[in-house]
């Protein structure tokens, strides 16, 4: 079996994302979502994962804000938008475009 460093980043990301979604699909616990091992491994992919996460958000809002914050150290979400997945996603997409991570 190839290690994650020997496989294309997109392939590793897609596998981790699929497992995370499958194993957390019915939970409403934000803590369980972001502490899931696959979510943590996505964070561990580092800055190279930022465009992949933003691409995911461009397809549909999801709980990627914490991963993006953990990787970048940036929080572009206004406090008034906390908890609003659509607005959190929009803020990150705007940030990604302004910073050259998303076309």
**Residue range 6-49, pLDDT digits in tens:** 789 999 999 999 999 999 988 889 899 999 999 999 999 999 99
- Residue pair 58/43 in contact (Cβ under 8 Å)? The answer is no
Q: Is the dihedral of CA 95, 15, 7, 37 positive or negative?
A: positive
Determine the structural domain holding residue 37 and report its residue range.
Answer: 4-98
- Quick check: is 103 in a domain? no
**Residue range 79-91, pLDDT digits in tens:** 999 989 999 999 9
- Quick check: is 29 in a domain? yes
Domain count, the chain: 1
Residue 1 has pLDDT above 50, yes or no: no
- Quick check: is 91 in a domain? yes
pLDDT at 5 (0 to 100) = 59
């Amino acid at each position: 079996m190839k290690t994650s460093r020997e496989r294309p980043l997109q392939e590793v990301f897609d596998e981790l994302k699929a497992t995370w979604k499958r194993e957390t699909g019915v939970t409403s616990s934000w803590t369980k979502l972001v502490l899931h091992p696959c979510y943590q491994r996505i964070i561990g992919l580092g800055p190279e994962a930022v465009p992949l996460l933003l691409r995911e958000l461009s397809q549909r809002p999801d709980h990627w804000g914490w991963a993006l914050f953990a990787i970048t150290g940036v929080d572009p979400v206004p406090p008034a938008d906390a908890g609003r997945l659509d607005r959190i996603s929009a803020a990150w997409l705007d940030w990604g475009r302004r910073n050259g991570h998303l076309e």
